[in-house]
Amino acid sequence: MTNPAALVFDAYGTLFDVHAVVERCEMFWPGKGAQLSQLWRAKQLEWTWQRSLMRRYAPFSQLTRDALGYACEALALSCDEARAAALMDEYRRLALYPDVADALASLHAGGRGLAILTNGSPDMIAPLVAHHGLESLFDAVLSVDELKIYKPAPEVYRLAAKRLGVASNAIGFVSSNCWDALGAKAFGFRVWWINRGAAPLDRLGFAPDGLLAGLGELPAALPE
């Protein structure tokens, strides 16, 4: 395998920990934070797929807000506008996973082209990247929002190849979301799946080129 010309990263769940909202949820609803965060994330994702298939796209910020409302209703938790706004705000400053900053700095210092390809709409992803001061590391922060369809539709991955001006098989794609990694693989990228939770591989007819337990392992795992 030759050295990828560019590395493209998923954002939510890969660089940024979507469950970093648990602490604030726990403050609002003691004992319910983890369960709320799990259901919130699950519905947010389900609706990306369902709305894409229905051809009824709505931006990720709306889906995220809607999914919070659903999850609170399902768990019988009262969520007023102030709490919802506070939690949506958390989503714009989600913590980086501990090994991410060093890995990105190392890859960037090595002269690699780096980009983000995310479901997140610009109103969510831009403040998040800025919050962590990561703008200078990335050549591009690409959102599905301009296509109005979510991952793992092939046109999403095609957007990255086109914008970066790099052939598909020269792009290394990195995601912790197995279905996203395999969607990228189906499209033609070389793929590293960051499997932090030691989950089974999704059965989608494809396998990643590499499997890592954390993003910190990526610099050493790349071919010379």
- Answer for the pair 90, 24: CB distance below 8 angstroms, yes or no: yes
Residue 98, preceding peptide bond in cis (omega within 30° of 0): no
Return the number of the residue (33 or 152) whose C-beta is nearest its own copies: 152
Of 10, 17, 145, 180, which is the active-site residue? 10
Candidates 1-9, 15-23, 53-61, 139-147: pick the segment binding its own copies (CB under 8 A).
53-61
Nearer to its own copies by Cβ, of 114 and 160: the residue is 160
Q: Which of residues 59-118 bind its own copies (CB under 8 A)?
A: 63, 66-67, 69-70, 73-74
Instruction: Give me the least distance between CB of 131 and its own copies, in Å please.
Output: 27
208 forms part of the interface with its own copies (CB under 8 A): no
Does residue number 139 form part of the binding site for its own copies (CB under 8 A)? no
Q: How far is it, in rounded angstroms, from Cα 205 to Cα 95?
A: 32
Nearer to its own copies, 96 or 184 (CB): 184
> Backbone phi, then psi, for 26, in 5-degree steps?
-65, -35
CA–CA distance, 190 with 209 (Å, rounded to integer): 6
Q: Rounded distance, CA 54 to CA 51, Å? A: 5
* Residues marked as catalytic: 10
